[in-house]
Structure 1
Amino acid sequence: MQTMLKYSVGTDLSKETFDACFSVIDSQQKVTIKSTRKFDNTISGIKNFIGWSKKLRKHDIPIVFTMEATGIYYERLALALYEEEFYVSVVLPNKAKKYMQSIGQKSKNDKIDAKGLSRMGAEQQLACWMPFSRNIYQLRLLTRQNEDLQQQRTILINRKEAHRFCQDQNEIIDNQLGTMLNLVEQQLKQINNAIIRVIEEDTLLKEKIFRISKIKGLGILTVATVVAETNGFYLFKNQRQLVSYAGYDIIENQSGNRKGKTKISKKGNSHIRRVLHMPAFNVVRYEQGSFKNLYDRVYMRTNKKMKAYVAVQRKLLMLIYTLWNNNTEFDSNYHKSSGNDEPKFLFSLGFEKAVKKVVPVKNTRTTQDELPCNESPEVLFSLIQNY
């Protein structure tokens, strides 16, 4: 008789209902489906789902719940399971899609997707989902509303400007556009004030956000948006994960002698990329830190300004992540020391005075320690010969 190792419940959610599949994996890595059922995506439906899952759990072995991050429809179910102290995993839709393809699933519907997610949770050790804190969740709602209002404001300004230059103007339309524009601007002020209030209510949040926003060209709204969209960087273990989450990871397109375009994936959180657009211009303009050097270097190599600004956005995101985790302020004069400021002694021969600093000759390639290639051997072995 095979030993059962873990229960796995996959759920495929929509606005009104969700499909669930309860399965178990044994010591031979065989996944067996025990039951499938459809539930209403309501409070009562979620309670019925939790009761159904507990009833099917016959043995005292781990149980995991796996679902896709489908907009906001998964949040209520994930939070209810978390409060019941279940292990919950929320996976990105593209990751779930690639897994379904890898196991040979060709058809697609809610029931099939639930079965695939159940098998995925059984076979893999997925990361545990954690809910947003109340303040950060409120901050995310407010910053996204601010983004929507900014887009509406831009649309109304463009329509009002276009109407001003049309052949035959209409006073009613002009007044309506003006009224709507004034309303949106009032709502923007309310949202911005609400964002500040939420930040000031949380001492730790306030301290960190205001410290990072001291960077010239980087505003409180930008930092608040990045923090809200990443849940305070809670689940990110390194910068690479954060860059991928924001869609700044690089995609190469090369095969043999063919070299296609290299670009960012944009398969990530678009809210972060949108809010970092203008700050990238600002930090380059104000020459904050090494951003101007990065911009010049990428622009010289690609001759494309937007590629250079995207590189600055990526670096700016990683800087916010570093300052947040280290709880430090931004130092525009900070640079990582490579060890070249002090003399290097390759051998402890006691001839420290015999070592001289070699200055690279113009138009001469240098090694990593800033010594010209044609002079490095002499420096490396001069002490041995003298000894």
Structure 2
Amino acid sequence: MSSFLRYCVGLDISKDKLQVCLSIIDQTGRVSVKATTKVANKPIGFASLLTWVSRHCKFNLPLTYLMESTGVYHEAVAWYLHQHDQSVSILLPNKAKYYLKSLGYKSKNDKIDAQGLSRMGLEQQLPIWKPLSKNLYALRLLTRQHQRLQELRTQSTNQQHSLEYSAFDNGFIAKQLINLVKVYDQQLTALEAAIAQLIAEDSVLKPRIEQLVRIKGLALLSVSVLVAETNGFEGFTNQRHLVSYAGYDVGENQSGNHSGKTRISKKGNSRLRRILHLPAFNAVRFNEPTCKALYECVYERTGIKMKAYVAVQKRLLLMAYALWRHGGDYDPLYLLNRAGGDKKIVPTSGTTQDQLTQAELSYL
């Protein structure tokens, strides 16, 4: 018994079924599959899963459940396991995909995926999942619904524009589109009121969000999205993790004498990048000191406005993270004062956008 270290249950999740694989690892690093099964993706299946696992775990060892974030199908089992004091880890699907490829599997099915997940959970130290609080979960639902309706409204207004300048006009469709935009506007207004009410009634969220709204460029809706999509910045131990999660990490393209363009990876939460697009423009327009200085610095170096605005987006995200994590009042001149008064931080030749913003934001 002493030669074994821990168990891991890999769960490959579909709409109706959970493919389950229980594995164990010993002190030499050898992974052995103990048992496999299938259960229904509903509460009665989750209960039978716990019974099945307890029956096959012969030793009193640490146990972890590992699954992929498959849309919404994984949420019910993750919540159930968490409420029953089980350790749960949740992976982005691309991480599990590349891990399975590294093992040399040529076939793909639910059983192989579950086995690969259980092996991955044993060989790697993965973070334990922490669920959203009820209010943060509700806030995420509201902000995502707001985004969906806003996108539908944009489609309708684009269709209106297209119809207006088309060769043959159609009054019936034009009236429908006008009414449809009015409905979207009413629903968006109602959602914004619901978001404001939810925050006002939460004694923990309200004061912290009020501090973030003081940053020029960030309004209540944009801050609500940042907080909801990051689970209140829970689980991010440093700035790099948050930057990577949002897709603002810079990917290099260099090999030997070849040196390609560097650009942000965009492999992350696209909702964060979407909601920071307009706030970045407003932060520069309304002269938020640190954002304005960064914009001018990057634009002077690259001559590309959008690259400078992306740097400002990243700056706003990290400013919100720093205020949320450390508390305190927002000071617009804090970073500039730490950098030496009104003196600009001028990048040296060869400094990448990522290195520049990381160096400046290390003061936060």
- TM-score of the superposed pair, with normalisation by structure 2: 0.90
Partners of 1:299 and 1:315 lie apart in 2 by 15
Larger displacement relative to structure 2 (86-95 or 1-10): 1-10
Q: Give the equivalent residue in structure 2 for 1:268.
A: 268
The Cα shift of 1:339 comes to: 8.8
Per the TM alignment, residue 336 of structure 1 is displaced from its structure 2 partner at its CA by 5.5
SS of 1:290's partner is helix
- 2:279 is aligned with 1:287: no
Counterpart-to-counterpart distance in 2, 1:184 and 1:337: 45
3-state DSSP class of the match of 1:203?
A: coil
- After TM superposition, the structure 1 = structure 2 runs for residues 170-319 of structure 1, keeping only pairs within 5 Å, are 170-319=170-319
Is the Cα contact below 8 Å between 1:20 and 1:114 reproduced in 2? yes
- Report how far residue 238 of structure 1 moved: 0.7
Give, as a single letter, the amino acid of the residue that structure 2 aligns with 1:171.
G
CA shift for structure 1 position 58: 1.7
Task: Work out the CA distance in 2 between the residues paired with 1:334 and 1:4.
Answer: 52
Instruction: Tell me whether 37-46 or 304-313 shows the greater mean CA deviation.
Output: 37-46
Match of 1:345 in 2: none
Given the superposition, is the C-alpha separation of residues 48 and 154 from structure 1 closer, same or farther in structure 2, using an over 3 Å criterion? Answer: same
CA distance in 1, matches of 2:112, 2:10: 10
Whole-angstrom distance in 2 between the partners of 1:62 and 1:255: 43
Structure 1 segments unaligned to the other structure (5+ residues) = 342-364, 366-387
Which moves more between the two structures, 169-178 or 191-200? 169-178
Instruction: Give me the whole-angstrom Cα distance separating, in 2, the residues matched to 1:328 and 1:179.
Output: 46
Equivalent residue number for residue 328 of structure 2: 328
Equivalence for 1:115: 115
Match of 1:16 in 2: 16
1:167 aligns with 2:177: no
C-alpha offsets along residues 51-102 of structure 1, whole Å, 9 cap, x if unaligned? 2112212221111101112222111111111111111111222222222222
Percent pairwise identity: 48
Looking at structure 2, the residues matched to 140 and 201 of structure 1 have their Cα atoms a distance apart, in angstroms, of: 16
Deviation at 1:46, TM superposition (A): 1.8
- Aligned CA RMSD, in angstroms, stands at 1.7
Shift of 1:126: 1.3
1:150 partner SS: helix
What is the SS of the residue equivalent to 2:88?
strand
Unmatched segments (≥5 aa) in structure 2: 342-347, 349-364
In the alignment, residue 30 of structure 2 is paired with which amino acid?
K
Contact 2:299 / 2:308 at 8 angstroms: preserved in 1?
Answer: yes
C-alpha separation in 2, matches of 1:299 and 1:17: 52
Shift, 1:106, TM fit: 2.6
Q: Distance in 1 between matches of 2:263 and 2:234?
A: 27
Q: Is the 8 A contact 2:284 2:292 kept in 1?
A: yes
Distance 2:269 2:335 in 1: 30
Question: Counterpart in 2 of 1:30?
Answer: 30
8 A contact 1:212–1:329 mirrored in 2: no
Q: Give me the TM-score of the superposition, normalised by structure 1.
A: 0.85
Query: What SS class does the counterpart of residue 289 from structure 2 fall into?
Result: coil
Q: Report the 3-state secondary structure (helix = DSSP H, G, I; strand = E; otherwise coil) of the residue aligned with 2:90.
A: strand
Alpha-carbon distance between aligned partners in 1 of 2:333 and 2:234, rounded to the nearest angstrom = 29
**CA positional deviation for 1:337:** 5.2
In structure 1, C-alpha distance between the alignment counterparts of 2:305 and 2:270, rounded to whole Å: 20
Q: What is the identity, as a one-letter code, of the residue corresponding to 2:136?
A: I
Check the 8 A contact 2:290/2:336 in 1, yes or no.
no
Return the offset for 1:221.
0.5
User: 1:171 Cα deviation (Å)?
Assistant: 2.0
Contact 2:142 2:195 in 1 (8 A): yes
- The residue type equivalent to 2:149 in the other structure is L
- How far does the alpha carbon of each residue in 1:171-199 deviate from its partner, in whole angstroms, 9 at most, with x for none? 22112111211111111011111111111
Mapped partners of 2:290, 2:332: distance in 1: 8
List aligned pairs for 1:29-108, cutoff 5 A.
Answer: 29-108=29-108
- State the AA in 2 paired with 1:97: K
For residues 226 and 340 of structure 2, what CA distance do their matches in structure 1 show?
36
Q: Deviations over 1:25-48 (max 9, x none)?
A: 122221111111222212222222
Say which one has the larger Rg.
1
Match of 1:4 in 2: 4
The answer to whether the 8 A contact 1:64-1:89 is kept is yes
User: Judging changes above 3 Å, is the alpha-carbon distance between structure 1 residues 197 and 340 closer, same or farther for their aligned structure 2 residues?
Assistant: closer
CA distance in 2, matches of 1:60, 1:51: 15
Deviation digits for residues 247-306 of structure 1, max 9, x if unmatched?
A: 000001011221111000111000100000000000011110211121112112222111
Report the number of matched residues: 342
Relative to structure 2, which stretch is displaced further, 77-86 or 331-340? 331-340
2:247/2:268 contact within 8 Å kept: yes
CA distance in 2, matches of 1:261, 1:40: 48
